[in-house]
Chains A and B, each alone.
Chain A
């Protein structure tokens, strides 16, 4: 049985750029698919096709059992969309925004009103319900936008980079909202640039690059392909490298067969591990006991860049692909974003 979202061979071109180059997707009912990829990879275009905003040049898409091209209006009754920007009217109050959306979903006025109050309460916006959205913080606007997408309790939800631009605290609270939503049985397709986000929210992940799905699987499967966790150590004195190596080799996980790798000129040693932070603490103690001075040490988990390098053999850096100008510029943003995630992870 096809899933709540099912797409085959979606193609969409804008001039020279093939934004979608034969995308197949299947999201079983009640599950979450994370579309992971840099800006310009085609994630947003895929969402726009599936939410009836854009007609594909080729391929078919069925959402909630309805063909997107044949009966877009029926599809619109069954979906909620939370786009890349908080699409709320900033001169309307939170309550007015939600009522308007309810009315446009063809709800009777009284029901739209009741539902607006309910959603404000649930999204922790009741205190701000009668203030214009202009006065809201970024996180509040995002929550209002998400509430607007949930006005009819749609069985299928689309979220395009729901946490881009949010600070860590707001990102965390939005994740909780999304988890609640999914626990209630909603099918969700979510796009993101952050592996961490896909990791936390998605059952399945499809990695998208240049309009194609280049890999799919669970978060663990993708991480396994990318190499999993590793400890990175930079020693102060090059003479200490052999001793440090011996320590790390004792703790490196044996499954993959690859041991410690050493970059002589940067005095950096890297070893794949499975023990997480606890192991890191142990390694630090042992290195200390051996009297090795450390310049830097950290536990690194795979970042989007790592996934990309391992899957495509190229980084999400600008200039390495002769694709269209827009895609190149967007890839640069993605590289910056992924770099940020990496730093966050290192800090833990």
Chain B
């Protein structure tokens, strides 16, 4: 080990640029770090794909023939088209668990302490994480869309409307990673973060119009399903992909009648609320 030159003058870190510019570069530095991790631990991405692909197969071929959609009879092909937006949306929301586990692990390993002792932008550790998760979600969606095409799903209303649908899905996924960030900062162990980031997603995604229409649910659940932020995105995507059966009648609830707008509003509200809560929690984070 070579001796430290005695001439080494102590210097403080340069004055940051502050403001938005610094937030952006710091966030990108952290996003880059998380993307490198993603490449080095490909299992995470691979296992993230197994579950939605399994759901595509199970719902299409096991339940598909038996689930009746109003206006479509029991055609398995039409159920597959109806189903796919639900699977897409469920997949993007599952990014939550990755974010919460990742952030809990950073807390546990002392990395959050290191970051908090650096003169970096306050929200950057979380923003960087959510950006990296967004990239991962996008990759997952591409693979899943390919699988969906293989089993016969099509977007019927043109490429732009299809891309708009995927845009809404990514926005929803991004919003949910902020919920994941808050969970990751709130639990004590990475293990708790993994289950804590996942468990509540099951009722959320099943009490919705993702897999079955809401009209046969009890009134109480039907209202939840129709106002569920998750449902708005699913219905918006079905609409944009042209995946509704010809004579399908949408529920009267406002988000079901204006699904695209409802989806955007819900996602933006979730981002605004959970970003504020997460950054506040981060600033006082202790293991």
Contact = CB atoms under 8 A, between A and B. Distances in A.
A92 B115 CA distance: 15
Contact of A132 (B15, B40, B117, B124): B40
Given A92-B36, A185-B10, A76 B113 contact: no
Given A83-B110, A91-B40, A122-B2, A152 B11 contact: yes
Nearest to B14: A106
Q: In which size bucket is the chain B interface?
A: 35 or more
Given A91-B40, A96-B36, 8 more contacts: A53-B113, A53-B116, A76-B13, A76-B119, A100-B32, A106-B22, A148-B114, A173-B1
Contact of B113 (A87, A107, A121, A183): A87
Nearest to B1: A124
Nearest to B22: A106
Contacts of B41: 91
Contact of A183 (B6, B16, B116, B124): B6
- 6 nearest A-B residue pairs (beta carbon): A87-B110, A155-B10, A76-B119, A77-B13, A87-B114, A105-B13
B270 to A, nearest CB: 28
Contacts of B111: 87-89
Interface in B1-45: 1-6, 8-17, 22, 25-26, 29-30, 32-33, 36-37, 40-41
A257 B124 CA distance: 64
B44 to A, nearest CB: 11
A85 B105 CA distance: 13
Interface-centre pick from B8, B10, B36 (highest chain A CB count, 10 A): B10
A184 B13 CA distance: 17
Given A100-B29, A154-B12, A81 B114 contact: yes
B219 interface: no
Given A92-B33, A92-B36, A177-B1, A106 B113 contact: no
Contact of A107 (B5, B14, B116): B14
21 contacts: A48-B113, A52-B117, A76-B117, A81-B114, A84-B110, A87-B111, A92-B37, A96-B36, A100-B32, A100-B33, A105-B120, A106-B120, A122-B1, A124-B1, A132-B40, A152-B11, A154-B12, A155-B10, A155-B11, A184-B10, A185-B10
A76 B118 contact: yes
Interface string B103-115: 0000001110111
A77 B119 contact: yes
Contacts of B6: 183-184
A104 B113 contact: no
A83 B114 contact: yes
B195 interface: no
Contacts of A186: 10
Contacts of A181: 4
Contacts of A164: none
Contacts of A184: 4-6, 8, 10
B286 interface: yes
Interface residues of A, number: 51
Contact of B13 (A91, A122, A152, A185): A152
B1 A85 contact: no
Contacts of A185: 10
Nearest to B33: A100
Interface in B38-84: 40-41
A106 B15 contact: yes
Interface of B: 1-6, 8-17, 22, 25-26, 29-30, 32-33, 36-37, 40-41, 109-111, 113-120, 124, 284, 286
A237 interface: no
A200 B114 CA distance: 26
A13 interface: no
Interface string A90-105: 1110001000110111
A155 B8 CA distance: 11
A103 B120 CA distance: 9
Contacts of A136: none
Given A73-B119, A104-B26, A180-B3, A89 B37 contact: yes
Contacts of B109: 85, 87, 90
A180 B4 CA distance: 6
Given A85-B109, A104-B26, A104-B29, A78 B4 contact: no
Nearest to B26: A104
Nearest to B115: A104
Contacts of B110: 83-87
B181 to A, nearest CB: 18
A157 B110 CA distance: 17
Contacts of B119: 73-74, 76-77, 104-106
Interface in A254-282: none
Interface in A57-80: 64, 73-74, 76-79
Contact of B29 (A76, A78, A103): A103
Contacts of A64: 12
B73 to A, nearest CB: 51
Contact of A91 (B12, B32, B37, B115): B37
B49 to A, nearest CB: 20
A81 B1 contact: no
